[in-house]
Chain A
Amino acid sequence: MNTLAKCGLMLLGATAAQAQTVTIGVHGALGDYRETSSDLRFKGIGGGFDLTLSWRQFRLDAYGTQISYDSTAGSSQQSFKSKEGDGHLGYAFTPSLIGEVGIVHRSIDPQFAAQEMTAIPIGVRYMAILGPGASIGIRGDYLAAAKFSGGGSASLAVELGLMFWAGPQNGRFRFTGDYSFQRLDRTTGSLKTPIQQSLGRLGVAVGF
């Protein structure tokens, strides 16, 4: 474990040397998960870590978030934990317009309390500078090849996002925020079993 940590730090150091910007952060998260009908609705809180790498026109955003979902009042469904990892690799066509592709995976514990999902988001984000050391952006992705643990497919699978960061001009510390809204119109056979998740994250990050 110790060796693994050292290797990780060395890799991070090597990456920092090559990359224009590396940030590592932690965040708190709020979640809203719905499935099939309005009765199957969960709200949760949690946290996680995030990592961003910038190198020339490329940018990698990665999030690992765990949320404990509880059924909202009026429903008697089982609580569960969601572990969601998503990564987006972007290429900046212009300083503002970034094309991106990535992967989103959500695992559920216990396994059948909700749908596990894996998809490949493909989309664009548009960034704007609020001031020195602060930016805000919006993104839209199509969630291609969405797979579900309970089977089925999604004719419409989209994700909408809002993100920002702000901090001193040197980029050493950042206050970060990220919001994503997923809509997956899943069907299993002739049965409509839509899934919708709203996930907000607020955190801090350190730049290298």
Chain B
Amino acid sequence: MRRTALLALLLALPAVVWAQRPAAPAVQNAALNKALQAYNNLEYTQAIAQAQQALKEHLSSAESARAYELLGFAYSATNAQDQAVDAFKQAIQLDPDRALDPARVSPKIYSLFFAALGQVLVVRQLKVDSASFVGGTGAGVPISFTVTSPARVRVRAVSGNSSVLVDSSIVTGGVNLKWPALLPNGNPISAGTWTIVVEAAAGQNTFSASQPVRVALGSVDTVPHLTQLPGYNELPETEVPPKSARPLGMAAMYTGLAGVGVLGLNNSNLGSAPSREILTVGAAALIVGTIFTMKKPAPRPVPANIQFNQLLREQITRRNADIAQQNAKLRQQVNITVAPLPKGAR
């Protein structure tokens, strides 16, 4: 009794999951709607019949894929594994990017779906990332996709009559490429709409997926010239020295020396030493010394700072010369910006 209940729950799980599929577009076809309803009511035989009926009618590609997927689910529930795998294969062929969440479907269904994936050749989940880079520097646009079975895969970028081979190799599983967006001669590709085409071929089986991208070309930003080095500022080349009594001291010393000299050289036979002249000139010298002592000192050069600034300017000049050379190269380069477009856009 308990095993029967468990089996019923397990079989009911896909129905719950089906009902919770996110963003599933509304179904227009009546037969397909009935099939979905029957499946949700665990009436798998009825669901299979309605789905097959719907497939005989005119369905859109998405509705067809959904119908086949429903068939796969229903066949899985009825243990018709081969039919389930075939239905999933049809669904995958119609919608290669169709995927099941292993956390939300039963392992049985997921394994059948996975088996179907291995039996068809499709290129899934083709993704071209947005990228902006300088052409010819080794950078490129990341391209990723999955090939469901071993195949010769050629990846090309196509625009009008132009076709640039991006990669050609035998691969299976996830593939990651980098497209430098360059022509074989090394020049950047032209601006405009390009299509990344992934073609997989294994024997008679072939499959192709594509993704349009918009390519824009622009000039490469140049490096601005330096006006100063980061972290280094020019130092003041002059400084105002502190006030000093040196001028007055010097005037007093020289005047004193002269006065002592006069006293020493004076011929005593001619009377006392003459004082008027030396006192007059000496007093004037002392006044000058006093004025220069009280006067705000004039700025004086600071040799260490001057040398520092000179070295700084030389360094900036050298760096700017390097930047000029670098900019000359940058002006010859092209900035390539690639952005994926919605599929089908031109």
- Residues of chain A touching chain B, judged by Cβ–Cβ distance below 8 Å, are 30-32, 34-38, 41, 43, 128, 130-132, 134, 136-138, 140, 158, 160-162, 164, 166, 169, 175, 177-179, 181, 183, 185, 192, 194, 196, 198-202
**Neighbour of B250 across the interface among A30, A41, A136, A202, CB < 8 A:** A136
Knowing A30-B277, A131-B295, A181-B278, say if A162 contacts B258 (CB, 8 Å). yes
Interface of chain B, main secondary structure: helix
Closest A-B pairs by Cβ, 6 of them: A200-B277, A38-B271, A198-B274, A162-B258, A32-B274, A179-B281
Residue of A131, A132, A169 most packed against chain B (CB within 10 A): A131
The answer on a CB contact under 8 Å between A177 and B285 is yes
Q: Could you tell me if B258 and A32 are in contact, using CB atoms closer than 8 angstroms?
A: no
Give the complex CA separation of A132 and B288 in angstroms: 12
Q: With A and B bound together, what is the CA distance between A14 and B177 in angstroms?
A: 84
Contact A175–B288 (Cβ < 8 Å): yes
What class of interface size applies to chain B in its complex with A?
A: 20 to 34
A43 to B274, CA, bound (A): 10
Residue of B nearest to A136 (CB): B254
Say which one of B140-148, B158-166, B261-269 lies at the interface with A: B261-269
Q: B residues touching A (Cβ–Cβ < 8 Å)?
A: 246-247, 250-251, 254-255, 257-258, 261-262, 265-267, 269-271, 274, 276-278, 280-282, 284-285, 288-289, 291-292, 295, 297-298
Given contacts A177-B285, A179-B258, A196-B270, contact A134 B247 (CB under 8 A): yes
Q: Are A162 and B298 within 8 A (Cβ)?
A: no
Smallest Cβ-Cβ distance to A30: which chain B residue: B277
Q: Which residues of B contact A179 (CB under 8 A)?
A: 258, 277-278, 281-282
Is the beta-carbon distance between B271 and A41 smaller than 8 angstroms? yes
Select one of A128, A160, A162 contacting B265, CB under 8 A: A160
Q: Specify which of A131, A140, A199 is in contact with B297 (CB 8 Å cutoff).
A: A131
Contact, CB under 8 Å: A202 / B281: yes
- Contacting A177 at CB < 8 Å: which of B266, B274, B284? B284
Whether B258 contacts A138 by the Cβ 8 Å rule is yes
- Which residue of chain A lies nearest to B248 when distances are taken between CB atoms in the complex? A130
